[in-house]
Amino acid sequence: MKEMSKELKKITWLIAGLFLLFLAVRYWENIEKIIILGLDAALPLLIGCVMAYVINILMNFYERWYDRLFKVVVAKRVKRIVCIVFAFLSLIGMILFMVNMILPELINCIAFFIGMVPDVVENIVEFVGEEQLMHYFPYLTEGIDWSSVSTKIESLITSVLNGFGGAVGSIVTAITNVVTVIVSTVIGLIFSIYVLTDKEKLGAQLKQMIVTYIPKKADKIFYIVEVLNESFHSFIVGQVTEAFILGLLCIIGMTILQLPYAVMIGVFIGFTALIPIAGAYIGAGVGAVLMLATESFAAIKFLIFIIILQQLEGNLVYPRVVGKSIGLPGIWVLTAITVGGGVLGIGGMLIAVPLFAAGYRLIREDIARRNPQAEVVEEKKEPLEKQEDNEVK
C-alpha cells in the first residue's frame, strides 16, 4: 500500500507539473506582465540587497580592524554603526574621486570637439567654393517641380511639429524614469542599512525557515549558498584589486611616455576594468578617441602601450589575482561574459562570471562524488602523456 501511495503521489505531482506548464505556455503574456510588475515593485529591495552585499565586504574589513583597535565594551556596542558609516563613506569617496578625475577632462575634450565644428564647416565651404556652387546652381535646379517641393516642405514641417510633440513626451518619460531610479536608489540605500544592521538576525531567520519547510534539502541549500557567496566575494575583491592595479600601471606608463590625460584615462580604464576581459579595451577605445583631439600620434602610442599592458596584465596579474580566486578557466570566463552580456548587458557580465564559477565548482564536486575515478584519471593524465612521448622517442 505504501508503494502504491508513493507512486500515486509521483503521478499526481507529474500531472500537476504538466498542467502548470500548460498554463504557463498558454497564458505566458499575462504571466510575463505579472512578473515584470513584481520585479518593478521589488526593484528598490533588490537594489538594497546588492548594495548591502557590496558594502558588507567593506564593513567586515572595518569590523576586523575595529576589534583590534578597540577592546572596550562600550566601544563594541557602536561597532556596527561606526563600520557601516565608514563603509558607505569609503564607497562614496571612491565614486567622487573617479568622477572628479574623469568628468572635468571629459567635458574639456567634448568642448574641444564642439569648438572644432565651425572650423570644419568653414573648411568645407572653402573647399566647395561659393563661386563654383553658384556656377553649377542652374544645372542643379534644372527640371525641378517646385510645386512638389513646396508640398514636401509642408509635409516636412508637419513631421517636425509632430516629432517635437513626441520629443516632449520622450523627455517627460526620461525625466520620470530618472526620478524613479533616484527614488528606488534612495529606498534601496535605506533598506541596505537595515539589512546590514540586522544581517545576523535575518540570516538566522532564513536558515530557520529553510530547515522548517525544506528539511531534507537544507544542507544542500546551505552549501550552494556558501559556494555562491564565496564566488561573488572572491570575484568582487579580485576584480576591484585587478582594476586598481591596471589603472595604476596605466597612469605610471602614460606618465613615463608623456601621453596626455594620463590620470583621467588611467582612472577611467581602471573603472571599466571592473568588467572582465572586455572592460579594459572599452576604456582604451574611449581614451584613444579623446587623444585624437590633441595628437593622432599620441593615440597610436597609447594603443600600442595599452595592448602591451593588457597582455602583461592578462597573463601575469589577472590569473593570480582573479583567476585563482574564482577558480574558473579562461574559456568559461569568456563564455560567461558573452552569455551574461547578451542577456543583461554590462550587469549581466558582472553577475555571470561568479555564477559560472559557482556552477563550475558545484558540477566538478558532483562529478567527483558520483565518479571518484574522474579525479584519478585527471591526476594520471600527465604521466601517461609523458610515457607516450617517451615511446615515440
- The model's pLDDT over 8-35, given as tens digits with 9 standing for 90+, comes to 777 888 888 888 888 888 888 888 888 8
Note whether residue 353 is domain-resident: yes
277 and 192, same structural domain?
A: no
Say whether pLDDT at 208 is over 90: yes
185 and 110, same structural domain?
A: yes
- The model's pLDDT over 51-92, given as tens digits with 9 standing for 90+, comes to 999 999 999 989 888 888 877 666 667 888 889 999 999 989
DSSP one-letter string for 14-83? HHHHHHHHHHHHHTHHHHHHHHHHHHHHHHHHHHHHHHHHHHHHHHHHHHHHHHHH---HHHHHTHHHHH
Note whether residue 128 is domain-resident: no
Note whether residue 152 is domain-resident: no
10-14, 37-41, 136-140, 211-215 — which is least confidently predicted?
136-140
pLDDT confidence of 190, banded at 50, 70, 90?
very high
- Between 129 and 227, residue with greater pLDDT: 227
Residue 324 carries which side chain, given as an amino acid letter? K
* Whether the model pTM is above 0.85: no
- The answer to whether 126 and 94 have CB atoms below 8 angstroms apart is no
By CB atoms closer than 10 A (0-12, 13-18, 19+), residue 134 is exposed
251 and 362, same structural domain?
A: yes
Note whether residue 259 is domain-resident: yes
Note whether residue 228 is domain-resident: yes
299 and 242, same structural domain?
A: yes
368 and 235, same structural domain?
A: yes
pLDDT confidence of 100, banded at 50, 70, 90?
confident
- Between 331 and 31, residue with greater pLDDT: 31
Say whether pLDDT at 111 is over 50: yes
Note whether residue 327 is domain-resident: yes
pLDDT confidence of 226, banded at 50, 70, 90?
very high
d(CA 284, CA 239): 18
CA-CA-CA-CA dihedral for 121, 122, 125, 130, to nearest 10:
150
| Cell numbers describing residue 170 | 520622450
- The answer to whether 247 and 266 have CB atoms below 8 angstroms apart is yes
- The model's pLDDT over 236-271, given as tens digits with 9 standing for 90+, comes to 888 888 888 888 999 999 999 888 888 888 888 888
328 and 189, same structural domain?
A: no
Q: What domain range is 187 assigned to?
A: 42-116+175-197
Closest C-alpha to 257, from 298, 199, 211:
298
What number of other Cβ atoms are within 10 A of residue 249's Cβ? 17
185 and 74, same structural domain?
A: yes
Total domains in the chain come to: 2
Note whether residue 363 is domain-resident: yes
242 and 110, same structural domain?
A: no
d(CA 108, CA 293): 10
DSSP, res 129: -
Residue 301 carries which side chain, given as an amino acid letter? K
242 and 313, same structural domain?
A: yes
251 and 182, same structural domain?
A: no
By CB atoms closer than 10 A (0-12, 13-18, 19+), residue 53 is middle
